[in-house]
Chains A and B, each alone.
Chain A
Amino acid sequence: GIQVEQSPPDLILQEGANSTLRCNFSDSVNNLQWFHQNPWGQLINLFYIPSGTKQNGRLSATTVATERYSLLYISSSQTTDSGVYFCAGGPGAGSYQLTFGKGTKLSVIP
């Protein structure tokens, strides 16, 4: 099956700093998603981004499908951005189960 590698595993930022999280896939993926898991365990959808670039406020994401990676950019980080960020992808262009990475644990300190 698909292997998903996320980096870095842990990240500590001063409030206001920018960061880039990376996700590499071992094979072609579709239905690529980025999630933020808050301290209560809820997975919050950030981006559905099989390819291309999207932006939502201080967050943006880019997926280069041909090179099997995706990047999540967080600008002007806030303490509420703390939590675990997961990327996940499915094997085909359709309704398939997602394979998740191990996540990046982000701590934003005031």
Chain B
Amino acid sequence: GAGVSQSPRYKVAKRGQDVALRCDPISGHVSLFWYQQALGQGPEFLTYFQNEAQLDKSGLPSDRFFAERPEGSVSTLKIQRTQQEDSAVYLCASSLVTGPYEQYFGPGTRLTVT
């Protein structure tokens, strides 16, 4: 594809609901990253996949956050029992694994928990 795509672009959830956010990386990009961006801050790392393997999930803020990439392309970030502090923009990025390692970002999903 032309770029990284994410859906939905906006999501409003009631506190306690589960949400699923989708990321379609650039075709051929083996590496996939999820970041969380709070208002007025820079993005912060959540988790990293190389193909279908989740190599680093050290940035996930709690066990309510779960990510998967079962076939090594599309990835889903799931948040269970959403809380107000989960409100943020969730960004997905992809890159080559063999270099150059430039990351390209999707437009993000803005999650609002009410």
Q: Which residues of A contact B (CB under 8 A)?
A: 4, 30-31, 33, 35, 40-43, 45, 48, 86, 88, 90, 94-103
**Closest CB in chain A relative to B69 CB, distance in Å:** 14
Chain A positions within 8 Å of B63 at CB level: none
Partner of A41, one of B35, B45, B110: B110
Contact B41 A99 (CB under 8 A): no
Question: Bound state CA distance, A86 and B103, in angstroms?
Answer: 13
Partner of B42, one of A31, A40, A88, A97: A88
Contact B108 A98 (CB under 8 A): no
Partner of B95, one of A41, A86, A95, A100: A95
Contact A33 B102 (CB under 8 A): yes
Contact A48 B33 (CB under 8 A): no
Asked if B20 is at the interface (CB within 8 A of a chain A CB), the reply is no
Please classify how large the interface on chain B is, using the bins under 10, 10 to 19, 20 to 34, 35 or more.
20 to 34
Partner of A42, one of B30, B56, B59, B105: B105
Contact B101 A45 (CB under 8 A): no
Partner of B105, one of A43, A94, A95: A43
Question: Bound state CA distance, A36 and B35, in angstroms?
Answer: 16
Asked if B97 is at the interface (CB within 8 A of a chain A CB), the reply is yes
Question: Bound state CA distance, A90 and B43, in angstroms?
Answer: 13
Chain B positions within 8 Å of A97 at CB level: 33, 45, 48, 56, 59
Task: Scan residues 75-114 of chain B and give those whose CB is less than 8 A from a CB of chain A.
Answer: 89, 91, 93, 95-97, 99-105, 107-108, 110
Asked if B73 is at the interface (CB within 8 A of a chain A CB), the reply is no
**Closest CB in chain B relative to A35 CB, distance in Å:** 8
Residue of B nearest to A40 (CB): B107
Asked if B18 is at the interface (CB within 8 A of a chain A CB), the reply is no
Contact A33 B103 (CB under 8 A): yes
Chain B, residues 10-48, CB within 8 Å of chain A (1/0): the string is 000000000000000000001101010000011111001
- Give the 5 A-B CB pairs with smallest separation, nearest first: A100-B42, A97-B45, A48-B102, A43-B105, A95-B31
Contact B45 A94 (CB under 8 A): no
